[in-house]
């Protein structure tokens, strides 16, 4: 899993950059934003003295105390309903959904209240909050601990949905999320927590919401992806480079609103597009991206838009051989790219 992040730290001197894991960057982003704005507080299951099930909040309880790092009951509905009230009252809550699989228990609060608060009040109220969602497969979690449900919320105006792929973006997108006026679903891929490292500035910076990044330039085909699937797409691109296939790779970073301009500009150059994503194929993230390209960029295309995703199964199986077959790997992605280029 490789990515060129030189452009991300351009202008920063060596002493101003640290190598961090993905989860360390999240913890650092939380700490910096809590120091910057005393209205921010964290709430979730086992996030205080225990530091969270994945240790993303380790050390924050000791630094900020029990009024700003709060252990909650095991109730996702309580978490988000309470966060909506706190947000309206002037605070900036950041509830943690320990596993994205259980976010269904908070759907009413997210979709009917947080997302619609500004609209239904004619702008009298906003609902700023950052809902951290731990998600994703390739960790042996099985049916109820590996889901990727971002597509549900891409259908809901009023929300912002982000999912970083690198430590740099993990910190920068998180900090940007805390500084807006909208409810943000901040999706953290569990597989990336400790498998990805990269340079992260120690000075204050943000990554703009709604802006994709071209992380690998190419001329034959555009691959659009995010989070874990982005890294597997980059691995596939490296394999194909030896075959003379030059792949351009786009990291969406923000899924709602997503960056149509960057996608279409790339597809205009390459004339081919493959969307790689971690959710069911039907009505998944790639369905929206593919439809947009077909609608707004049809004249650019020399081949149909191709989707690479898990099958339309309930979720990743627990049995290791089936789990391995469920998620796209670099070989499957590479084969889809070959077929698209050869069309």
Opening angle at CA 107, ends 316 and 90, nearest 5? 130
Question: What one-character DSSP code corresponds to residue 130?
Answer: E
Q: How far apart are CA 327 and CA 299, in angstroms?
A: 32
The CA dihedral of 52, 57, 58, 62, to the nearest 10 degrees, is -110
Of 189, 106, 175, 94, residue with least CA distance to 141: 189
Is residue 155 among the annotated active site residues?
no
172 close to 206: Cβ distance less than 8 angstroms: yes
Of 165, 169, 196, residue with least CA distance to 276: 165
Q: How far apart are CA 51 and CA 284, in angstroms?
A: 33
Catalytic residue among 145, 203, 220, 231: 145
- The DSSP secondary structure of 245-282, one letter per residue, reads --EEEEE--EEET--HHHHHHHHHHHS-EEEE-SS-ST
Q: List the beta bridge partners of residue 197.
A: 21
Q: Tally Cβ neighbours within 10 Å of residue 67.
A: 7
In the Cβ-directed half-sphere of 56, how many Cα atoms lie within 13 Å? 32
67 close to 93: Cβ distance less than 8 angstroms: no
Active-site annotation, residues: 145
């Amino acid at each position: 899993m490789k990515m060129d992040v030189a452009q991300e730290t351009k202008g920063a001197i060596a002493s101003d950059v640290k190598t961090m894991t993905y989860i360390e960057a999240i913890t650092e982003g939380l700490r910096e934003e809590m120091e910057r704005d005393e209205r921010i507080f964290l709430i979730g299951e086992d996030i205080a003295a225990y530091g969270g099930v994945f240790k993303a909040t380790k050390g924050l309880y000791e630094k900020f105390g029990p009024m700003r790092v709060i252990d909650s009951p095991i109730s996702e509905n309580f978490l988000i309903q309470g966060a909506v009230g706190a947000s309206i009252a002037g605070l900036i809550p950041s509830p943690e959904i320990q596993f994205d699989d259980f976010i269904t228990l908070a759907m009413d609060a997210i979709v009917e209240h947080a997302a619609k608060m500004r609209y239904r009040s004619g702008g009298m109220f906003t609902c700023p909050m950052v809902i951290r969602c731990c998600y994703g497969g390739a960790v042996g979690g099985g049916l109820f601990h590996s889901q990727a449900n971002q597509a549900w919320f891409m259908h809901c105006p009023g929300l912002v949905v982000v999912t970083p792929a690198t430590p740099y973006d993990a910190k920068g997108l998180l900090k940007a999320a805390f500084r807006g006026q909208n409810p943000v679903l901040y999706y953290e891929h569990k597989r990336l927590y400790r498998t990805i490292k990269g340079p992260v500035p120690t000075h204050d910076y943000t990554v703009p919401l709604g802006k994709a990044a071209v992380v690998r330039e190419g001329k034959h085909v555009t691959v659009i992806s995010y989070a874990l699937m982005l890294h597997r797409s980059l691995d596939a691109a490296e394999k194909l480079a030896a075959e003379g296939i030059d792949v351009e790779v786009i990291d969406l970073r923000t899924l709602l609103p997503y960056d149509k301009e960057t996608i279409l500009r790339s597809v205009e150059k390459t004339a081919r597009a493959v969307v790689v994503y971690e959710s069911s194929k039907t009505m998944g993230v790639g369905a929206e991206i593919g439809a947009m390209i077909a609608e707004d960029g049809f004249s650019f295309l020399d081949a149909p838009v191709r989707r690479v995703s898990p099958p339309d199964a309930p979720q990743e199986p627990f049995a290791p051989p089936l789990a391995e077959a469920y998620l796209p790997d670099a070989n499957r992605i590479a084969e889809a790219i070959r077929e698209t280029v050869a069309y």
